[in-house]
Amino acid sequence: MMSSDPETDLSAGVAFVDGAYVPLDEARIPLLDRGFLKSEATYDVVHVWKGYFFLLNDYVDRFHRSMAGLNMALDYSRGQIIDILHDCVAMSRLRDSYIQMTCTRGVPPPGSRDPRDCRNRFYAFAAPFSWIANEEQRRDGIRVGVASVERIPPASLDPRIKNFHWLDLVMASYDVYGQGALVPILPDRDGNITEGPGFNVFALLDGKLTTPIRGAFEGMTRRTVIELAQSIQIPVDIRDIPFDELGRADEIFISSTAGGVIPVTVLDGKPVGCGVPGPMTGRLHDLYWQAHEDPRYATAVRYDRASR
């Protein structure tokens, strides 16, 4: 691997492209990669917090499931992918980092329109940790709006495959910016809520922690929150949530690798519950961050690899 000169500042990020490590802002992909031209790509994002990966194996397993779902496979083994993720973080020396692994369909031979002719490509990078909401918003709660734009239906694209089709999520964001919301929640065709750009949704309804059963990505943070809630005997209900039911929730929060558990205090311009982050949200937030110190969840970054 590229030896990292201790004098070089790579804290803006390190990428792995075409078998080599480069500073993130120098990383390039070929214009003809169908990942770029046709959004034919899958990716996953794991994070490092205080020098430890969170649920590293689980994120990499999910990445492999997504690749299989898109008929993609890489020349890199699972172990090599894990090593590359370690290397990107180690070389950047970041202690809190956002690490993306991406598989694209690749560049077709000239004249071919058949995706099976492509050799799939692997890209990865470590960047500074990025948050959906700033510190004040995470403490006081965020404003969200239910968009009129519907989430792409599962019958068109299985939402469990993490993908680059973000335009419904982005157009839904424009839909709610006018009401001062930070992010949107998208409904499905039947008026049930699904998710938003980069996050899942939870509501405290009738004393139960409730989250949509269909139409959304199965977030790692969502899974962790469900496990943590069950560990402290909070009843969990995974079911359809009609969007007007969300309006009577006592608490709402979103969950994401990009920030963990983030309280929602305003929904469509109206206060959620008492209009301040609720106690259940606070408990789950704290448990989520405590889990980062638990060896069942945390894997130390191999920073010494950068100096080999």
Chain contacts with ligand PLP (rule: CB under 6 A)? 45, 195, 198-200, 216-217, 219-222, 255-257
**Rounded to 5°, angle at Cα 83 from 77 and 86:** 145
Of 108 and 184, nearer to ligand PLP (C-beta) is 184
CB contact set of 25 (below 8 Å; sequence gap of 6+): 12, 13
Cα separations (Å) of 168 from 165, 178, 184, 185? 7, 17, 10, 11
When the beta carbons of 17 and 220 are compared against ligand PLP, the nearer one is 220
Give the shortest CB-217-to-ligand PLP separation in angstroms: 4
CB of 48 to ligand PLP, least distance (A): 14
Q: Least CB distance from residue 130 to ligand PLP, whole Å?
A: 11
- Cβ proximity to ligand PLP: between 108 and 219 the closer is 219
Nearer to ligand PLP, 292 or 305 (CB): 292
Least distance (Å) from ligand PLP to the CB of residue 197? 7
Closer of 62 and 93 to ligand PLP (Cβ): 62
Residue nearest to ligand PLP (CB): 219
Q: Under the phi-then-psi rule, with left for phi > 0, alpha for psi from -120 to 50, and beta for the rest, what region is 13?
A: left
The distance of closest approach from Cβ of residue 302 to ligand PLP in the complex, given in angstroms and rounded to an integer, is: 23
Q: Which of 200, 201, 221, 215 is nearest to 160 (CA)?
A: 215
